[in-house]
Structure formats: C-alpha cells, structure tokens
Amino acid sequence: MSMKRILLGATSPDLLGTLEIILKHWGYRVLVTSRVGEFEELLNGSNPEFILIGDGMLAAADETLRQRLREQIRKTGLPLVILGQPHGPTIPVPWVGLDVPIDIFALFELVQKHLEKHPRRNLRMEVRIPGMVCRDNTSELAEVLSISTRGMFIKTSYRLEPQDQFQVVFPLLGMNRELELPGRVVYRMEPRPENNYRQGVGLEFADLSDETRRQLEAFLEQRLLGELSEGRRGAELDLGMLRSRAARPSPGLIS
C-alpha cells in the first residue's frame, strides 16, 4: 500500500521543516517547498491527496496556480488547508485553517479525518510507564503501554472485565506530576498470534476536567517532541512553530 502524499508549501523554512518532520513521523510522504514555482511543479507532477499551503504563498499564487489548486481540490474532494490567516486574492474552494504556531492536536485530527479510512480523533502515544490500579480499597501494580486524552491501554495482573470501574494512578514523567483518574474497562485483549500475543485491558477516562485534559495534552506533546528530537532530523525541529493548547480548525469557503 503506497504512502499517502501531502503537498506542503510555505514561505517559512522553519515551519516547513517542522511540519515535514511531524507528518513523516506519522507515516505520510511529504513534498515540501518554499517557492511558488516549485509548488506548482509538485502539484502538477505528484497528484497529492492533501494540500497544505501557507497564507503568504497562497496570496502570491498567480491565476494559473489558483486554477490548478481548484482542479486538484475538486478532484480529491478534500479541503485545502491554509496555514495562518488567509489574505489577498482568494479562490473558491472548500478550506480549513490552521493558525501558526501550529497546534499538534488539531493537525493530527485534521489529517486523520481527511486521509484515514478509520480516523483516530485523539493522538495516542506508545509508552512504558509504571502505574497503579485502585479498586475496593485494594491496589495492584500496572504498566501503561499506550495513552491518549481519551484513555489508555494497560497491563496488570488485576482481573478486570469490561465495564469495571476503578481509579488508575500514574506519573507524568518529566513533569514532576502524578494523576489519579477514574477509568472504565472497554475491552480485554488476550494473548493471541493475531495481536502478537499482546495482553492487557483498554480503558476510557471518565469526566476529565479541563485542567486534567490540558496536563495530559502537555504530557503527550512532550513525549512526541522528545521522539522527534531524538530522530535524524531532530535539530531541524523549531518549537517556536508549535503551540501546546488545542485549536480547532475552522471550516469555511474561500469566496
């Protein structure tokens, strides 16, 4: 199965490099350029499934490029993503906006929604964190294997069944904080060949406060940026191009 192609154009090299690193980390083929002429060449030659363009590059586009953008957007049926605030002459295509600095969570939700057959709404990170399951005045050690702002997957010797409710305690490593959250079991995974003998329970969080959600998002962002920084191109990551608080993309129509 071929990698889905994303065409990314913006006049800021720092923004380009940072977004390229993130999108490639998520498994996409990313074509990038800071030049309007090369953007048009890539648009004509690569047939991208998804297009992200900076507001400055969009304003500088001539009528030929605008016409090609209209054609490609109508062909894919997906909206044009405008980075920053759209200004200058516009083109009549469906679009969504992402403010700069970019919110990683909004970016993740956006590409999942439009590029994946079974999109995830929440950014999930693979981890190995010690934790504790607490229920009926007893507690048992657990290991957190993955986590999102919606729930987690844990491994524990405590016998848990679907719909069981309990408290889970775990540290936010690197943040000098610990969270105790109410959880509910939504599924059990038994060790079988089809799941690589993975074993554990999936749980969802219940009634998270805004502050708790913010702390979880900060933790997930820290883990993701840590992984990216350790990569081959980690030095190119510009944290000034990113922000940690979630911002929902605003759908609209450029008219």
Pairing mode, strands 242-243 and 102-103: parallel
Check residue 89 and give its pLDDT: 56
Comparing 5-121+232-253 with 125-208, is the CATH topology the same?
no
Pairing mode, strands 80-83 and 125-135: unpaired
pLDDT tens-digit profile, the chain (255 residues):
578 999 999 999 999 999 999 999 999 999 999 999 999 999 999 999 999 999 999 999 999 999 999 999 999 999 999 999 877 556 788 999 999 999 999 999 999 999 999 999 899 999 999 999 998 889 999 999 999 999 999 999 888 889 999 999 999 988 889 999 999 999 998 878 887 778 899 999 988 999 999 999 999 999 999 999 888 787 788 989 998 643 334 444 443
Per-residue burial over 189-216, b if 16 or more Cβ lie within 10 Å, else e, is eeeeeeeeeeebbbbebeebeeeeeebb
Rounded distance, CA 77 to CA 95, Å? 11
Structure tokens at 106: 């909004």
What are the residue ranges spanned by the domains of the chain? 5-121+232-253, 125-208
Check residue 1 and give its pLDDT: 55
Rounded distance, CA 149 to CA 181, Å? 11
The CATH architecture to which 125-208 belongs is Beta Barrel (2.40)
Cis peptide before 249 (omega within 30 of 0): no
Q: Which fold has domain 5-121+232-253?
A: Rossmann fold (3.40.50)
Check residue 28 and give its pLDDT: 96
Rounded distance, CA 255 to CA 174, Å? 46
Name the pTM for this structure: 0.86
Check residue 143 and give its pLDDT: 96
